[in-house]
Structure 1
Amino acid sequence: MAKKKYPARVRFFVADDIRVDGPNPKPIVLGLFPDDVVFVGLEKDQVEPSPEKPLVLESLAILAAFIDCKGPFETEASLYQPDGSPLFEKKKIEGGVNTDSAVGKNSINFIMKFMPFTVSRFGIFKLVIKLGTKPYEYEFSILKRPAG
């Protein structure tokens, strides 16, 4: 069995949707939020989201690109809300992830899609993906669109 190699570099992207299509499974990113901030417009009389009255986004997707690595890796993911409470925690990814099925020979593209994505408060969300024993963290914001 080949020796595992943890990623030399990791990049994260948040978008409206991320798909894989065709025989060469390159990610297709739709509605990229390049600054890691998702702005949500509210109607004039609409209140900010709360646990009692959450806001529902049609979809949200995150791509984690693990570059220059060698798997397979047991994998788990956690997503935390702005107040630190988990949307989900230590969710095991059945079968883990492996470089053999990735776009690049020594890379892993891991896509998480949420359809719908429920927002109970605006702020900074934190995603933690654990490959083997090593965690990789990514923060993105969901905020109210500024007026104007």
Structure 2
Amino acid sequence: VKYKLEFYDHCLNIWEETRKQGRPLIICGDYNTAHKEIDLARPKENQTTSGFLPEEREFLDRLVDMGYVDVFRKFNQEAGQYTYWDQITRARDRNVGWRIDYFFVTEETMPLVQNAFNRMDVMGSDHCPVGLELKRR
């Protein structure tokens, strides 16, 4: 967890440098952290599990507080929308998952965004694809 948080901080420094240049910023990836209770099927059972630890979630809180937008949640507040399921337990069959893959954009970039979505119907991995639709200029 310590290494993960150090990596997050390193990335944030790079993102902030890019942001200072006034360029649109879109960040996509597997953060291996569910941000809110809505972002995993069993939050109570996972309070002490890496991927839902308070210190990991605090980083995502800080990111949002700094003006980064979790685009999927901006457009979709529905529970049960996950991007990762454990294959060993066949968790996808029961939709016992985690939303750990994100698109974050800066508030300044948000006017360029039309929608964000998870393709839970696409199989072939323990993760599903996530998508971002941008507006035409």
Q: What range describes the TM-score normalised by the shorter chain of this pair?
A: 0.3 to 0.5
The two structures have a TM-score, normalised by structure 2, of 0.34
Name whichever structure is richer in strand by fraction: 1
Identify the structure with the greater helix proportion. Answer: 2
TM-score, normalised via structure 1 length: 0.32
Structure of greater Rg = 1
